[in-house]
């Protein structure tokens, strides 16, 4: 405690030690000084109905409908789901499956919208005052606005705001670490719209009914930290900005919480279970727009970067804009990029097709040149142990890989496969270029498939057992009925016999 | 069987490679090697070249038998490095066939029978050193006093050829060698004769000479100072970490200090142990071998301490004057066990792998 | 059950060779194969036991009940081994002095009990005897080859002390191949036995993986690769230290 207060005196908070991590070249200078710019509307917007973790949203418009900007296109009816809104006014020209940035790589149900160019707003809900509105009303507004975690995880934010009903919370953490190289969209957002983000933080803190807020920013973004410090100073909250070391994966929720508080989230638990909820600054900004202006989440800021793109930029893009249009807006690519990614270079996914649209979780589009993503052929593991040193989860990646190669999935699980956060630090440092993360993802996928099969088998078995029980019951009932009938018959017979006997005996008796 | 080759993250790489590590290790070995070659002259240079050449040749042959791309694997430099380490541990005037056997044993028996790069259980250089020491005790302990290149009485180029290839007949090719025992050998022999430690130390080389390396000994092991310099270079470049060197040297020094305190007339002090024999080479270049040392930080400490303790035990009470080779091999054998038992603690779990318990509601500040 | 003597011979000498095929009897193997002569002596003694025990077990197979067969077999083998031991002590006394310690241990040679259990107790007398002979010859060959390699590399001689075993008439067998040889001590020591055995096993695997008359060259290459790499090329594949 004493140390903490000393740190506070010096104006610097103590950051706790976190295991592992790597220092990739951040390449943020490419786009860090590019102000957030708008982009002209595309001729067609494709809005996927699954831009979040959880159940697909269900469409409430039909082909041919005219919709206004901000109008609900689809609503999430399940517990974990999120609504989808029209990014601009126009006509729904198709509802069907279309290629989308989804980890599965499969086409997703998509509403295709032809903008009418008017950009006419729908009737928006009235603004709320976070200081007077009830937490439930705030959470409801966030849910109705289709807001999801915009750092890339895309977990519906309203569900996270409801965590206060399940766990005693004390702190809201704003995760502005932005540890992925190249990405600068959060940096720009904090620099340019700090007040709005701070207000969003207030809304979220009120919705969570917590008073303590920590904004965590990596040390390579001093301007963003300064802007946020100023912005949160006016909040009626115990809010402060903590600068954390620049180290990947500082933005991993549980590791960030450990760096900020020293508290370690138990395996397979939520950070909420130790009292903290973590949100992204872009989410805070979206919450601000939703609460103060009634605007749903229909656009987002993303970074376009990489040495194979002509003009790196930070752009505010309507959801549904095709990737090709964004690249064209940035002057196109320089030759054929070696790799086109959605998200950062560490955990980003390859662009499935440049016709795919931007979704709520797209924080970057990277066109990497061959030099940037060079990876030599894999060589045998020399057990150098670097992967062990850098693993933020304390795993032994080389051993995991060896077991997975031998198809010993259970063995891999025993030494922590499921505790892997797929951050890619091990693959990044491996001097033998072994594709470790690829192997772990393969194993995790295979385990999930095994689980599904097992689940199915169990379900089938359960149904079969139920049927058997039912049949047995029917058979037993039949037997019972038969027995009863038999017994009745026998009783009848006996009675009849007795009567007969009595009849027969009576004369005898009388005779004697 | 193998995972499908999809493009998967991360899409960036640190650009560290196996060859870079091997190159840096070679660089770090250069000062001590250069001094060895200078002090022991042409025969040492020939032996060095023969050993490395055989190691590379044996590696190429094995790769060919295993049908792997020889160029790709040879270029990683691990064969050169193994051969180099074998050469450094040989008596500088040893005959050519010792070098040939050493290089070949290191590669074939030490490395490729286990499956090649990354698969060997034992340090190839130490396998060669120990197999040679056991099989050819005479040649492997025939040390000579330093005879620097160009110095009067030092063998010239032709004399060197004669010594290494045994052309002139006899063990040293007819050349008058000033044979001399290694410092540890001398100590062990004299102590065995019942001489007192002070007398032995007074008659032998002092700490300064031992540090500089101007004494009889193996080709590249004599100069503790230059080896330390190379080791620090490796630490600075991040090729190795501090745990193994510190635990090896620390354990030996601690044991030496302890026993020296108990009986100074019998047990030499820590400084003597640190600068003599192969300990410095072992701590920075041999025990730190990636393939044969544990991967977890705590495991590295245990492994290093094991080597340090075994070195001291073998040097002090064993049949051989120097115990580095045996100590390394014995701890190599323990590496899989150490790796199995000692893993880093997984985030959010206890050491035993159970999820951490949630703090009670009242605990949170 | 028909008796295919060719199969029995092939099995004993190569496919199911006690040492190279089944990796059994490694204890006497490593202990006595410092020289080819010792290997030959041990091999002949073991062959005698194998043949005699095979015959005895086969002859008694109707009389021994299943429940007590193992003690019964051990008893038979122990008896025969004792006879062989005494015979050697009487007629080959010098060799017995060298091998003496290991002859009684033939009782515990699992290969002998194994043959009794797996073969002799189910087959006719001639088949059991022939199998014992073939297994014995196979074992003897393995011991002699291993002993010869170790002796040549380790001490530069071949069949030294052959006269002890075979009589003075065959003393010409004793050859000093490399004059002034210093000796490669490690190969004479038990670890050397393991190392040489490992290489011989690799050689056998390589011979078996040779482009067979039936297979294509590519298939053969694949097999050779399997033999040599044993899946080791893939990072971390295979358990470490699983080499020899």
Task: Check CB contact under 8 Å for C182 and B121.
Answer: no
User: In chain B, how long is the greatest CA-to-CA distance?
Assistant: 87
If asked whether residues A347 and A392 sit together in one domain, one would say: no
Task: Check CB contact under 8 Å for B11 and A339.
Answer: yes
Pairing of strands A66-67, A90-98: antiparallel
Is there a contact between B84 and B132 (Cβ–Cβ < 8 Å)? Answer: no
Q: In tens digits, what is the pLDDT along chain A, a chain of 512 residues? A: 334 444 344 445 678 988 989 999 989 999 999 999 999 999 999 999 988 888 889 999 999 999 999 999 999 887 788 999 999 999 999 999 998 887 777 888 999 999 998 889 999 999 999 999 999 999 999 999 999 999 878 899 988 888 888 899 999 999 999 999 999 999 999 999 999 999 999 999 999 999 999 999 999 999 999 999 999 998 999 999 999 999 999 989 999 999 999 889 999 889 999 999 999 999 999 999 999 999 999 999 999 999 999 999 999 999 999 999 999 999 999 888 888 999 999 998 888 889 999 999 999 999 999 888 877 888 889 999 999 999 999 999 999 999 999 989 999 999 999 999 999 999 999 999 999 998 998 899 899 888 889 988 998 998 899 888 989 999 989 988 898 888 888 888 887 877 776 666 555 544 44
If asked whether residues B164 and B59 sit together in one domain, one would say: yes
Please report, in angstroms and rounded to a whole number, the separation of the first and last CA atoms in chain A: 114
Report pLDDT for A493: 83
Give the pLDDT confidence of B331-346 residue by residue, as tens digits: 999 999 999 999 999 9
Contacts of C160 (CB under 8 A, 6+ apart): C35, C37, C151, C174
Give the pLDDT confidence of C158-214 residue by residue, as tens digits: 888 777 777 777 777 777 777 777 778 888 888 888 889 999 998 888 888 876 555
Of B114, B119, B136, the CB nearest to C182: B136
Is there a contact between A354 and A324 (Cβ–Cβ < 8 Å)? Answer: yes
Is there a contact between A226 and A11 (Cβ–Cβ < 8 Å)? Answer: no
CA–CA distance, A432 with A434 (Å, rounded to integer): 5
C229, C231, C244: best mutation site toward chain B, by most B Cβ within 10 Å? C229
Chain B partners within 8 Å of C205 (Cβ): none
Structure tokens belonging to residue A318: 């309507």
If asked whether residues A229 and A242 sit together in one domain, one would say: yes
If asked whether residues B205 and B110 sit together in one domain, one would say: no
Outline where B282-362 has alpha helix (H).
Answer: 297-317, 324-341
If asked whether residues B41 and B161 sit together in one domain, one would say: yes
Mean of per-residue pLDDT scores for chain C = 80
The H or E element containing residue B82 is helix B78-88
Report pLDDT for A141: 93
B150 belongs to a structural domain: yes
Task: Check CB contact under 8 Å for A380 and C234.
Answer: yes
Structure tokens belonging to residue B328: 């390394």
Query: Is the pLDDT at C238 greater than 50, yes or no?
Result: no
Task: Check CB contact under 8 Å for C237 and A406.
Answer: yes
If asked whether residues B202 and B170 sit together in one domain, one would say: no
Task: Check CB contact under 8 Å for C235 and A399.
Answer: no
**Mean pLDDT for the stretch of residues C38-61:** 91
Task: Check CB contact under 8 Å for B364 and A170.
Answer: yes
Q: How far is C30 from chain B (nearest CA, A)?
A: 17
Report pLDDT for A502: 65
Chain C partners within 8 Å of B110 (Cβ): none
Q: How far is C236 from chain A (nearest CA, A)?
A: 4
If asked whether residues A238 and A308 sit together in one domain, one would say: no
A455 belongs to a structural domain: no
**Considering only CA atoms, which of A124, A98, A101, A106 is closest in space to residue A46?**
A98
Task: Check CB contact under 8 Å for A379 and B296.
Answer: no
Secondary structure of B123-165 in HEC code, one letter for each residue: CHHHHHHHHHHHHCHHHHCCCECCCCCCCCCCCCHHHHHHHHH
Chain C partners within 8 Å of A378 (Cβ): 235
A82 belongs to a structural domain: yes
A495 belongs to a structural domain: no
B230 belongs to a structural domain: no
Q: Report chain A residues touching chain C, CB-CB < 8 A.
A: 378-381, 398-399, 401-402, 405-406, 432, 434
**Is any Cβ of chain B less than 8 angstroms from the Cβ of C187?**
yes
Report pLDDT for C212: 53
Secondary structure of A221-236 in HEC code, one letter for each residue: CHHHHHHHHHHHHCCC
Q: What is the count of structural domains for chain B?
A: 2
If asked whether residues A402 and A356 sit together in one domain, one would say: no
Report pLDDT for B363: 44
Query: pLDDT-based confidence at C132, cuts 50/70/90?
Result: very high
Task: Check CB contact under 8 Å for C195 and B109.
Answer: yes
Q: Which of B154, B180, B206 is the last residue before a domain boundary?
A: B180
Task: Check CB contact under 8 Å for A402 and C237.
Answer: yes
A454 belongs to a structural domain: no
If asked whether residues A336 and A400 sit together in one domain, one would say: no
If asked whether residues A14 and A160 sit together in one domain, one would say: yes
Average pLDDT per block of 10 residues along chain B, 365 residues long: 53 85 93 92 92 94 85 83 94 92 94 90 95 90 84 79 71 61 81 78 77 85 91 93 96 96 89 90 94 94 97 92 93 95 91 79 43
By C-alpha distance, the chain C residue nearest A433 is: C235
Q: What is the count of structural domains for chain A?
A: 3
Give the rounded distance of the alpha carbon of B20 from its chain centre.
20
Strand order in the sheet with A339-342: A36-38, A313-318, A299-305, A364-368, A339-342, A349-350
B4 belongs to a structural domain: no
**Is any Cβ of chain B less than 8 angstroms from the Cβ of C5?**
no
CA–CA distance, C239 with A242 (Å, rounded to integer): 46
A271 belongs to a structural domain: yes
Measured CA distances, A254 to A19, A147, A274, A284 (Å): 12, 22, 10, 19
**Is any Cβ of chain A less than 8 angstroms from the Cβ of C234?**
yes
If asked whether residues B131 and B201 sit together in one domain, one would say: no
If asked whether residues B245 and B173 sit together in one domain, one would say: no
CB atoms within 10 A of CB B271: 16
Report pLDDT for B175: 62
The H or E element containing residue B84 is helix B78-88
Give the rounded distance of the alpha carbon of A303 from its chain centre.
19
Query: Is the pLDDT at C2 greater than 80, yes or no?
Result: no
Mean pLDDT check: name the lowest of B320-329, C30-39, C219-228, C232-241.
C232-241
Which residue carries 């040489």 as its tokens? C196
If asked whether residues B174 and B205 sit together in one domain, one would say: no
Task: Check CB contact under 8 Å for A401 and C235.
Answer: yes
State the ipTM, two decimals. Answer: 0.85
Q: Report chain B residues touching chain C, CB-CB < 8 A.
A: 2, 65-68, 109, 113-116, 118-121, 131, 134-139, 336
Report pLDDT for C235: 38
Write out the residue range of the structural domain in which residue A404 sits. 386-446
If asked whether residues A54 and A175 sit together in one domain, one would say: yes
The H or E element containing residue B324 is helix B324-341
If asked whether residues A276 and A328 sit together in one domain, one would say: no
Structure tokens belonging to residue A9: 């005196």
Chains in contact with A, where contact requires at least 3 CB pairs less than 8 Å apart: B, C
A57 belongs to a structural domain: yes
Q: Which of A446, A471, A492 is the last residue before a domain boundary?
A: A446
Report pLDDT for A506: 55
Is there a contact between A32 and A189 (Cβ–Cβ < 8 Å)? Answer: no
If asked whether residues B131 and B168 sit together in one domain, one would say: yes
CATH number for the domain that contains residue A268: 3.40.50.11540
Report pLDDT for A4: 42
Structure tokens belonging to residue B359: 């703090």
If asked whether residues A158 and A199 sit together in one domain, one would say: yes
Chain B partners within 8 Å of A391 (Cβ): 344
Task: Check CB contact under 8 Å for B348 and A273.
Answer: no
Q: Which of A411, A427, A446 is the last residue before a domain boundary?
A: A446
Measured CA distances, B128 to A326, B90, B111, B122, B326 (Å): 62, 10, 10, 10, 11
Write out the residue range of the structural domain in which residue B301 sits. 197-215+240-342
Is there a contact between B297 and B239 (Cβ–Cβ < 8 Å)? Answer: no
If asked whether residues A129 and A242 sit together in one domain, one would say: yes
CB atoms within 10 A of CB A312: 24
Chains in contact with C, where contact requires at least 3 CB pairs less than 8 Å apart: A, B
The DSSP annotation for C211-235 comes to: --SSS-HHHHHHHHHHHHHTT-SST
If asked whether residues A410 and A356 sit together in one domain, one would say: no
Of B65, B109, B115, the CB nearest to C238: B115
Task: Check CB contact under 8 Å for A373 and B241.
Answer: no
CA–CA distance, B171 with B163 (Å, rounded to integer): 7
CA–CA distance, A282 with A175 (Å, rounded to integer): 10
C180, exposed or middle or buried, with CB in 10 Å at 0-12, 13-18, 19+?
A: exposed
Q: C158's torsion region: left (phi>0), alpha (psi -120 to 50) or beta? A: beta
């Amino acid at each position: 405690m004493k140390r903490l207060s000393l740190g506070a005196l010096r104006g610097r908070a103590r950051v706790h030690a976190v295991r592992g991590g790597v220092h990739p070249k951040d390449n943020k200078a490419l786009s860090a000084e590019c102000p957030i710019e708008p982009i002209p509307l595309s001729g067609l917007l494709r809005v996927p109905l699954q831009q979040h973790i959880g159940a697909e949203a269900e469409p409430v418009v039909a082909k041919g409908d005219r919709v206004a900007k901000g109008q609900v296109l689809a609503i999430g009816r399940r517990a974990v789901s999120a609504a989808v809104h029209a990014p601009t006014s126009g006509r729904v020209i198709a509802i069907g499956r279309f290629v989308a940035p989804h980890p599965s790589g499969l086409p997703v149900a998509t509403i295709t919208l032809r903008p009418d160019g008017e950009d006419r707003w729908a009737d928006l809900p009235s603004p709320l005052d976070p200081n007077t509105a009830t937490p439930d009303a705030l959470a409801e507004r966030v849910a109705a606005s289709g807001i999801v975690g915009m750092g890339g995880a895309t977990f519906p934010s309203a569900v996270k705001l409801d965590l206060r009903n399940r766990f005693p919370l004390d702190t809201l953490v704003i995760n502005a670490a932005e540890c992925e190289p190249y990405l600068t969209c959060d940096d720009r957002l904090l620099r340019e719209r700090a007040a709005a983000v701070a207000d969003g933080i207030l809304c979220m803190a009120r919705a969570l009914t917590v008073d303590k807020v920590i904004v965590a920013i990596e040390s390579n973004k001093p301007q963003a930290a300064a802007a946020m410090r100023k912005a949160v100073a006016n909040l009626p909250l115990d809010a402060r900005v903590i600068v954390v070391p620049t180290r990947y994966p500082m933005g991993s929720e549980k590791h960030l919480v450990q760096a900020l508080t020293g508290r370690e989230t138990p395996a397979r638990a939520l950070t909420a279970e130790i009292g903290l909820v973590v949100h992204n600054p872009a989410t805070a900004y979206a919450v601000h727009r939703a609460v103060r202006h009634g605007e749903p989440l229909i656009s987002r800021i993303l970074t376009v970067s990489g040495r194979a793109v002509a003009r790196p930029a930070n752009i505010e893009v309507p959801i549904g804009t095709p990737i090709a249009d964004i690249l064209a807006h940035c002057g196109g690519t320089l030759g054929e990029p070696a790799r086109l990614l959605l998200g950062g270079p560490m955990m980003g996914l390859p662009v499935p097709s440049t016709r795919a649209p931007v979704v709520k979780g797209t924080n970057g589009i990277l066109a990497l040149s061959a030099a940037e993503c060079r990876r030599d052929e894999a060589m045998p593991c020399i057990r150098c142990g670097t992967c062990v040193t850098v693993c933020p989860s304390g795993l032994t990646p080389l051993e995991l890989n060896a077991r997975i190669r031998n198809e010993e999935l259970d063995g891999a699980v025993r030494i922590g496969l499921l505790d892997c956060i797929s951050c890619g630090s091990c693959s990044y440092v491996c001097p033998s270029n072994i594709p470790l993360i690829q192997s772990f993802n393969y194993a995790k996928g295979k385990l999930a498939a095994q689980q599904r099969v097992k689940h199915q088998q169990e379900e089938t078995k359960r149904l079969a057992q139920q049927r058997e029980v039912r049949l047995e019951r029917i058979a037993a009932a039949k037997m019972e009925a038969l027995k009863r009938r038999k017994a009745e018959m026998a009783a009848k017979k006996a009675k009849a016999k007795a009567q007969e006997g009595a009849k027969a005996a009576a004369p005898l008796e009388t005779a004697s | 069987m193998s995972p499908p080759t999809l493009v998967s993250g991360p899409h960036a790489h640190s650009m560290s490679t196996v060859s870079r590590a091997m190159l840096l290790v070679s660089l770090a070995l250069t000062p001590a090697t250069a001094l060895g070659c200078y002090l022991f002259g042409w025969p040492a240079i020939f032996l060095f070249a023969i050993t490395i050449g055989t190691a590379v040749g044996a590696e190429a042959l094995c790769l060919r038998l295993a049908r792997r791309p020889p160029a790709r694997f040879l270029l990683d430099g691990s064969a050169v490095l193994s051969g180099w380490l074998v050469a450094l541990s040989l008596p500088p005037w040893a005959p050519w066939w010792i070098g040939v056997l050493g290089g070949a044993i290191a590669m074939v028996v030490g490395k490729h029978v286990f499956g090649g790069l990354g698969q060997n259980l034992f340090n190839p250089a130490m396998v060669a050193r120990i197999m040679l020491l056991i099989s050819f005790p005479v040649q492997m302990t025939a040390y000579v006093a330093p005879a620097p290149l160009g110095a009067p009485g030092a063998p010239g180029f032709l004399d060197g050829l004669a010594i290494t290839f045994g052309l002139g007949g006899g063990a040293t090719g007819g050349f008058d060698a000033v044979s001399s025992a290694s410092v540890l050998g001398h100590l062990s022999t004299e102590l065995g004769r019942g001489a007192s430690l002070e007398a032995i130390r007074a008659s032998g080389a002092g700490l300064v000479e031992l540090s500089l390396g101007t004494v009889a000994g193996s080709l590249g092991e004599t100069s503790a100072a230059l080896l330390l310099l190379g080791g620090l270079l490796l630490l600075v470049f991040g090729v190795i970490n501090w745990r193994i060197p510190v635990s090896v040297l620390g354990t030996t020094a601690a044991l030496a200090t302890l026993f020296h305190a108990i009986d100074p007339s019998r047990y030499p002090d820590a400084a003597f142990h640190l600068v003599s024999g192969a300990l410095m080479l072992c701590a920075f270049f041999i025990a730190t071998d990636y393939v044969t040392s544990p991967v977890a930080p705590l495991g590295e400490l245990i492994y290093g301490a094991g080597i340090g303790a075994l070195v001291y035990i073998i040097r002090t009470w064993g049949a051989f004057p120097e115990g580095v080779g045996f100590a390394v091999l014995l701890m190599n054998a323990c590496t899989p066990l150490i790796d199995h038992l000692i893993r880093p603690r997984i985030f959010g779990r206890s050491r035993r792998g159970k999820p951490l318990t949630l703090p009670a509601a009242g605990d949170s500040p | 059950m028909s008796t295919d003597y060719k199969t029995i011979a092939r099995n004993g000498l190569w496919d199911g060779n006690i040492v190279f095929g089944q990796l059994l009897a490694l204890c006497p193997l490593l202990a006595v194969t410092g020289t080819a002569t010792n290997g030959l002596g041990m091999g002949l003694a073991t062959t005698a036991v194998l043949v005699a025990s095979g015959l005895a077990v086969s002859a008694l197979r109707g009389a021994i009940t299943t429940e007590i067969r193992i003690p019964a077999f051990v008893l038979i083998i122990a008896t025969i081994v004792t006879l062989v031991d005494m015979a050697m002590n009487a007629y080959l006394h010098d060799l017995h002095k060298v091998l003496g310690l290991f002859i009684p241990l033939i009782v515990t040679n699992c290969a002998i009990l194994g043959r009794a259990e797996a073969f002799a107790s189910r087959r006719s007398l001639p088949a059991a005897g022939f199998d014992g002979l073939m297994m014995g010859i196979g074992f003897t060959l393995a011991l002699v080859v291993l002993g010869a390699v170790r002796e040549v590399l380790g001490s530069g001689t071949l069949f030294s002390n052959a006269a002890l075993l075979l009589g003075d008439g065959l003393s010409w067998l004793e050859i000093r191949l490399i004059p002034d040889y210093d000796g490669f001590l490690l190969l004479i020591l038990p670890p050397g036995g393991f190392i040489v055995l490992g290489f011989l096993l690799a050689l056998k695997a390589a011979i078996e993986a040779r482009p067979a008359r039936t297979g294509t060259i590519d298939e053969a290459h694949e097999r050779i690769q399997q033999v040599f790499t044993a899946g080791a090329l893939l990072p971390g594949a295979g358990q470490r230290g699983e080499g020899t």
